[in-house]
Structure formats: structure tokens, C-alpha cells
Amino acid sequence: METAPLQVLVVDNDPFFLKLLEEFLKRDGHTVLCALNVFQCLDIIAEATPDIIFLDLIMPHLGGDDLCRIIRNHSRLQDAYVVIISAVALEQPVDFYTFGADACIAKGPFKDAKVHIQEVIKEAQNPRKEYPLQQLRGAENLYSRKITQELLQQIDHLRVILKSMSQGIIGIAENRIIYANSSAAEMLHVSAEVILGSHISSTLPSALLDILKTGLNSDEERKQVLQKTTVQFNDRQFIVEELSMRGNSSEQIFVLSDITEKKRMESVIEAANLTENLGYVFSGIRHEIGNPVNSIKMALSVLQRNLEEYDQRTVREFLDRSLEEIKRIEYLLKALKNYSLFECPVAQAIPIFDFLRDFVALIRSDFQKMHIQISMDVVDNNLIVYADCRALHHVMLNLFTNAADALKEVENPRIVISCDEKGDMMQIKVDDNGKGIPEGDHEHIFKPFFTSKKAGTGLGLAIVRKMLTAMHGFITIESCQGVGTSVTIFLPVSEHGTIPENSAYY
């Protein structure tokens, strides 16, 4: 029985086989559309509605199985008869019905394949069966190749690994998504069937799209692992990392890591550490704020009683004295207001002598109660450091808290602060004559939750190192048990020679 003319789409990256099949189908009166790759196929099915589609199983960018799923996702193509033509059908048996195909033909000598091609053409005249015959056609005179089978097994092994990863993996070629594992689809709030083959501009969130386009349009020589970037979309926070392909491949791979919970946990850790140290801050503020308030009250009271008698110079002296005390209160209020968790440090030029003087004044009262002597050894009062004031305050408070704990039950306890410029870095040292750190603990002191204190959280130094790293600095610790500890922090020297007017320390 002769078959009625059909519109046939053939997708195969082998131009010789594609031409053979095209000429064979045309001789039987069918209209034939040809695609050498999946992107040409996607462009064709966006407009045409073929009756039957022949797909190669293994092709660059997207395989025939994924392409079949994309086809079945088109409502117009639900009734299209899809035939897989595979050169590895013996080495890689597939349940082609699971991804929406209706038949599978082994790609061997064309003269043998023609019979099965004609069979499926006839079958395509009838409505699609709900459960098509699961039988490989054309395998009678073919033999399995062991090396091909081994390579395909390795590929399947890698697919299982990628599918089970918690990180999202996205592959892109020619601005289309050619791969997305389950985690990536979940992060993007789409199904794999929808995202595969789609153009990135129509599928990806704008925040992610901006980052990916930067990588896709870069003409610079690719590194093995490109810089990581943080991005937020769908109420989550992610790190995006680009991996380059070897050679001159047009494909690119992006890895998405969901760090939302990690960031939340870091906030909890910082809050716990903050709570541990806030006692020093509030106690110092209570003590320090009382003195300037009393001074202002006394100065204004005397001025009020003698306003008619004092000359302008004396009045100005009383007002200047009051304004100086008000500045001191402003400093303390800023310290209280800004002592909060923050994500990104805001670096500014800081006169380190003034910073350390005011910091010591804030905590001196509590340390005097513990009989701890604090002294400063700063030779140059004009040294400038480039850092975030809030972060540096937090760092110093952590270091002084640790020193205070180490000085318990020590005779003549003391802490010495010194600083000096070393090249393009500022070196700030905090030395104490406390009990020191046991030698076995040195390698663990920066690990979160490691502590030798009975009531400690073990978070202080981990946060200190994190804050310093964010400000392009670092920390070193030298300690001898029974002698004392020397903590040195290094921060960039300011690029500016002067401090902007009205610059806030906190």
C-alpha cells in the first residue's frame, strides 16, 4: 500500500547520512526538512509541524533523547511520530518510550535501514499508539563494539553524578541552554523539559543573565576556573562560577551554589559572637557617656549664672568645652548605633592613633575593674589605615576579650597596643602577658567552635579572620604558654594622605 506524502524532519549531524535519507524520502514524494544540529531543529519546529521526525541519538550539544523531550513539550507536536536512529543502539540499549519516541532504528548500512524507514513511515499514517512496540529495528546484521560500550558507560556514570549534585549545573552554547541538572532546574523554578534548548534571555532571571552574558561575551583568554560571583534571585543567594572547556569549544559550563543557608548561619554565628562581647561595649558607654553629660551640665550651669558678667572670650571657652563634650557623646552614640551585623565592609581612611585612643577609652573602665593595665605605644600619631571602622572595632574588641580571659589570675596583667607601617600594610599588635596558648592548640585556633574557654563559643577568631580578609588584611598569632600572646593584624595603608572632613569613625 502506498503511503500518503508526509512532512518529514530529519536531524543528524552526519551530512552524508542526512543527504541519503533526504533523497530516499523525496523519491517517495515526501516533503523533507533537514537539520544538521539541534539548534537548526529547534528553529524549524518553532514554525513547522512535521508528521514524522527522525533524530540521531548522539549529537553535539543535545542528544536525541533530550531533543525528543523538548519536542514532546510542544503541544503542536504531540502527535508527531518520532523515530530515533542510533549508531550505538546495540551498545546503549535505551527505553526510548520514556523520553517520548515511537520507534528506534539501528544505524547501519543504509540499504538495510531503508526497510525499517519505510515501516515507520507507514506507522506514522496512523494515530500514535499509547504503548508502542519496544523493539530495536535493524540490529540483525550488526555487532556490539566493546570500546563504544565502555565509553557510553562512563558517560552514563557521569550523568548520574551530575544529576545527583546539590549544585546547579548549566551548559550553554550559542546562547541556548543545552544542559541543566535537576538542582539547576529547581533553583530556576522551571522543569528540565522547559529549560532545555531554550534561549537564555527567555528562561534565566535577569540578575543571573547579566552575569552569564558577561562570561559569554568575554574575549579574554579563558582560565581553568573563572572568578566566582555572588547573585540573588528567587529569594535566594547564589555563587556563580564559570568553568571553561578545553580547546576551542563554544560550550560553557556554569555552576550555581546556593549559599542562602550558609549566609544565614554566618549571621547567627556573628550574632552569637556579638552577644558574647556586647557587655564591654555597653558598660563602657554607660560609664563614658556620664562624664561628658556631667561636664556639659556643669559648664552650662556656671555659664547661665554668670552670663551677664562673663565677657565674650570666657563665654566662647565654656561653649567650646561643651561642644567638645557633645562630640564625645556623638562618638559613643555612633559606636552604639553602628554596632550591628553587616555584609560588605566600607573602607575609609582612618587615623589609627585617634581610633585606638577612643577605643581604649571605651573599654578602659571594665578593664580597670579587672586590674588590667592598657597602654599604647604609637610613635607616629599621623599613621593612616584603610579599613571599615565598624569591622576594625569588632576585631579589636574580640582581641581584647581574648586577652582579658588569658590574663585572669595573672600577676600584674597588662595589654600593650602598638602599630607601625610596614610597606603598604599597617601592622597593629596586641600583646599580653597572659597564660598563653597551649602548643597543641595553635593549629586549631581559627577553626569555628574551637575554644578552650568554659563558656566560650569558639567563634571570635574565625570571625576576626573573616572580617580582616574582607578588608584585604590578615592576622598572625604568636604565643608561648606561661609567657603571653602577641596578635598582629595587617591592614592596607590608606591611599589618601588626609582624612575627609567630618569622617565618622563608626
Question: For position 34, what pLDDT does the model report?
Answer: 94
Tens digits of residue pLDDT in 446-485: 765 556 665 554 556 777 888 888 888 999 999 888 899 9
Q: Which range is least confidently modeled, 250-254, 372-376, 489-493?
A: 250-254
Closest CA to 159 of 71, 83, 63, 257: 63
Q: Which range is least confidently modeled, 9-23, 180-194, 287-301, 389-403?
A: 287-301
Instruction: List the chain domain ranges.
Output: 7-137, 165-258, 264-492
Question: For position 394, what pLDDT does the model report?
Answer: 80
Does the domain made of 7-137 have the CATH classification 3.40.50.2300? yes
**Contact present, 66 and 42 (Cβ < 8 Å):** no
Average pLDDT over all residues of the chain: 78
**How much of the chain, in percent, has pLDDT values that exceed 70?**
76
Residue 122 has a CB neighbour count (10 Å cut-off) of 11
- pLDDT score of 7 more than 90: yes
Q: CA 182 → CA 60, 88, 322, 398, 492, distances in Å?
A: 21, 26, 66, 43, 44
State the fold for domain 165-258: Beta-Lactamase (3.30.450)
Q: Which amino acid is at 62?
A: L
H/E segment holding residue 80: none
- pLDDT score of 366 more than 60: yes
Cell of 245: 572547556
Q: How far from chain centre, in Å, is Cα 426?
A: 30
Question: For position 37, what pLDDT does the model report?
Answer: 87
Whole-number Å distance between alpha carbons of 354 and 384: 10
Q: Which range is least confidently modeled, 103-117, 207-221, 311-325?
A: 207-221
- Rounded (10°) CA dihedral 433, 437, 439, 442: -130
Does the domain made of 264-492 have the CATH classification 3.30.565.10? yes
Cell of 311: 565677657
Write the secondary structure of 20-36 as one string of H (helix), E (strand) and C (coil).
HHHHHHHHCCCEEEEEC
- pLDDT score of 101 more than 70: yes
**pLDDT classification of 222: cutoffs 50, 70, 90:** very low
Tens digits of residue pLDDT in 412-443: 999 999 998 888 899 999 999 998 888 877 77
Beta strand 252-258 pairing with 384-387: unpaired
Question: For position 112, what pLDDT does the model report?
Answer: 80
Beta strand 373-377 pairing with 414-422: parallel
Backbone angles phi, psi at 104, to 5 degrees: -140, 125
For the ranges 22-31, 232-241, 375-384, 436-445, the maximum mean pLDDT occurs at 22-31
- pLDDT score of 382 more than 90: no
**pLDDT classification of 224: cutoffs 50, 70, 90:** very low
**pLDDT classification of 288: cutoffs 50, 70, 90:** low
Tens digits of residue pLDDT in 227-279: 678 888 888 888 888 876 665 567 788 888 888 777 666 665 555 555 555 55
Average pLDDT over residues 137-166: 71
**pLDDT classification of 498: cutoffs 50, 70, 90:** very low
When computed from its CA atoms, the radius of gyration of the chain, rounded to whole angstroms, is 36
Question: For position 431, what pLDDT does the model report?
Answer: 94
- pLDDT score of 502 more than 90: no
Concatenating the DSSP letter of every residue in 352-394 gives: HHHHHHHHHHHHHHHHHHTT-EEEEE-S-TT-EEEE-HHHHHH
- pLDDT score of 381 more than 70: yes
**pLDDT classification of 286: cutoffs 50, 70, 90:** low
